[in-house]
Structure 1
Amino acid sequence: MLGNKLRFGAFIAPFHAMDENPTLCLERDLELVQWMDKLGFDEAWIGEHHSAGFELIASPELFIATVAERTRNIRLGTGVSSLPYHHPLMLADRINQLDHITRGRVMFGVGPGALPSDAFMMGIPVAKQRDRMDEALAVLVPLLRGETVSASTEWFELKDARLQMTPFSRPSVEITVASQVSPTGAQAAGLHGLGLLSIGATSTGGFNALASNWAIAEEAARAAGNTMDRNQWRLVGPMHIAATREQARADVQFGLHNWLHYFRDVAALPLAPDDGTDPVDALIANGMAVIGTPDDAVAQIERLQAQSGGFGAFLLMDHNWASWDAKRRSYEMLARYVMPRLQNLNDNRIASIDWAAKNRPEFIGQVQAAVGARIVGHIAAKGTDNISPEILAALAAAAKQA
C-alpha cells in the first residue's frame, strides 16, 4: 500500500547578485514559480527581508498575490513572515485575504526574523525576537481560525480583535514554524500543533539536529494536547543538478562565489571553509549541497529521510548559482528524474513492462494464432489468389510448428 507522496518545492529567499537589475531579478523569481507550476512542483515559499541588499523580497504577500494570478496549482507560502516586524492583527488580515484570493493555495510560514540588521533598523532588540515571535504566534493561531482575541504585550495590544472574513481554509490556513538548530521553532510548532520548516536541514548543525528537533516538537505537542504530523514537516537544502557532475560543477561557477560571499561576510553564516580549498568540494563533502546528477539528488534526500525518520516535503533552497537557462534545466531534471524515483511514480510502469516482456512469447503466440486463423478462413472462402507467397510460407511454418 502506498503511503503519502513526498512533495517537492522551493524556498525562495531569494538570493540575487549585486550587479544585476533588481527589477528583472524580481521578474525572474516570478517566472521561476511559473516554471515550477508547469513542472508539477507542489510548493513555493517566499522570504521576507529588509536589509543587506541580497535577498530582495520585502513582502511575501505581495509576491504571492502577483504569482497566484500566473499559476494554477502550486501552493504558495510565506517563507517566512518575520512576526516581530508586524502587528499580529494586520498580518493575520493580509494572510486571510490571500487565503480567499488564492482559493486556499496560501500557506503561512513564520519565524523570528533572520537578519539582525532588519531588527536593528526597527529598533527591535535581537534578544527579544524569539520571545516576540512566541507572543505573536499565540494570538495569530486563534485569529486565523476566526476567533476573537484580546491580549496585551509590551509591543502590541488586541481588544476584541477578529478577522472580518471567515477563513477560506478550515480551520485555518496551514501554519508552519521555521527551525534551524535551536529548539525555538520546534517548541513553538509543538505547542500550537503546527508544521515545522527546517531551513538549514543540510548544514552540519541542522542535519544533526533533525531528529532531536522533531522529538522536541512531539514532546511539546503532547504536553499541550496536540499531535505532530510528519507530512507537515519540510526540509530545505541547496541543489544544482545537471546531466553529469562535471557539467554541474561548471554551471555553478556562474554565481556560487556571490552566494558564498554573502553568507561568509554579510549574513555571518559560514557554509563552506574560506581556507583556499575548492568550495564546491567542501559543500559536497560536508553534505551541505548537491552539485551533481539526479542520482546524487536522490541519495541526498534518502540521507535526509534516514536521519530525520521521515518528512513530508523537500524544498530546494533557491540560490542562482547557475545561469538562468542552467537553473531552469536543473529544476526540470529534478522534476523529470528525481521526483519519480522518490514518489514511486514509475513503479507500476516498471511492473507493467516487466510483465509484458515476461509473457511476450505467450502473447505473440496468441497473436500469430489469431492472424493465422483469419488467413485460413480467407483461403477457404476465396482461395489463395490474393495471398502473398510470404504469408503462405509463414502459415505453413506455423502449421508445421503446431
Structure 2
Amino acid sequence: MSTAAPRTAGPDHLWSVDEHLDDILATVRPLEPIELNLLDAQGCVLVEDVTVTVSLPPFDNSSMDGYAVRVADVAGASERYPAALDVVGDVAAGAAGLLHVGPGQAARIMTGAPLPPGAETVVPVEWTDGGLGEGPATGMRARSLAPEGATGQVNVYRPAGARAHVRAEGSDVRAGDRALAAGTVLGPPQISLLAAIGRGTVRVRPRPRVVVLSTGSELVQPDEELRPGQIYDSNSFALTAAARDAGAIAYRVGAVADDAATLRDTIEDQLVRADLVVTTGGVSVGAYDVVKEALSYTADEDEPGSGVEFRKLAMQPGKPQGFGSIGPDHTPLLALPGNPVSSYVSFELFVRPAIRTLMGLTDVHRPRVRAKLTADRALTSPGGRRQFLRGRYADGTVTPVGGAGSHLVAALAQADALIVVPEDAESVAPGTEVEVVLLG
C-alpha cells in the first residue's frame, strides 16, 4: 500500500498551495524496495550503502602501451645514449603467469596490463624505437611495436621515474570503502562503478509507474484531422513527458470522451500498471466535468479509506484540483485542470513531488532562487491567490514570457522558470526581487 488517507475538508474550504502539497506528501509513501539487475536499476534510488569488495584497479597496471622496466636501467637515457634493454616477452591485458623483469631487461606491455614482477615503471613506446632499431617511435609508428611475441632489444631514449605511467592498485577506490550512499539515483556513471566492483544487482526503490490520461470529447490525437470544435490532445503528451523527466515510467492513455462510465472503466483497467494516476480535465464546475462524476464512486463501502476529494486552491492558474486514492491498493490519484498551462504548473507543484516521494528521494522539489524581475510594466495578480507566471531566468534576473492566460502553450514552451507572486501581492514592480521556481 503506497498511501495513507488524505485529509478532507468541506466543499467551501479554500485550500492554500502549501496545504494541498503537504496533504499529498503526507499521504504518498515511498515504494517498497526490490532487488534489480544493474540495467533495470537505472534511474532508481539505492536504499542501502554499497561497499567496495574489490579495489579499483585491482592490481598495478600500465596506463600506456610501452615497456615495463627498472628505473635504474633507464636513468640517464637520451637520444644520443639510449638504454639498450633485452625484451623478455609481452604482457597483455588479462595476462596471467607474468614475466619477471630483471636488470637490463624490459617487457613489452599493453595499456591495462598488470605491471610484471621486477618492473618499477613504464616507458611509453613513443620514448623508444619500438623494438625495431630505427630511432624513436613517432607518429603512426608510435602506435606500433615489434611483432607480437618478439624478443630482442629495445632502445629507450628517455628516463622514467618510479611508477611513471602506472595505475596503482586501489588508486580509484579500495576494498572496504563506501562506493555509493543510500539515496543515490543510479545513472550511467553509478552503474559503471557498480559493475566495476562486481555488483550485478542492487536493492533499490523502483521507478514509479505513472498512468496519464486526459478527458474531453473535443480532444483529437495528433496527426488526425481536426473537425469543427475539436483540438489536439497536448496535455497527456506534456504530462507523460514531465513524468518521465521526473524519473517515472510513464504510460500515456488516449484521450477519454466525456462519459463517466467509460472513464471509470479506463481507470480501473489501468490500475494494474499504476503506482500513481494523473488525469487532466473535467475537475471544474461545468456540466461535462466527467472526472468528478466518474471518481465519486470510489468513496463507498466497497473501498473503505479510498476516495477523491475535489478542491479549490488559492492559486492561479490551477484553482480546481482533485486528490485522493482509488482501487483496492489505494493507488494515489491527482486530478489536474484541463487548461494546458494550468495542468503543467499543477504537475510541477504537486505531481512531480509525489513522483519523487514514491522514488524515495528526500529532496523532491524543483530548486528555487531569488531573482530580480525585469519587465516593461508591473505584474498584476489577483489578491488572495498565489500566482505562477512563466518566465526565463538568467544571471540572477527573470523576465516574464507571454501573458497570464492558462491556454498559452507557445509561451510555456519558451519558459524555463515560474515567477511566484505571493497571495498578499496584487502588483509587482520591475526591479523587485521575486521567488523563482527553476524548471530546467
- TM-score between the two structures when normalised by the length of structure 1: 0.25
- TM-score between the two structures when normalised by the length of structure 2: 0.23
Structure that is richer in helix per residue: 1
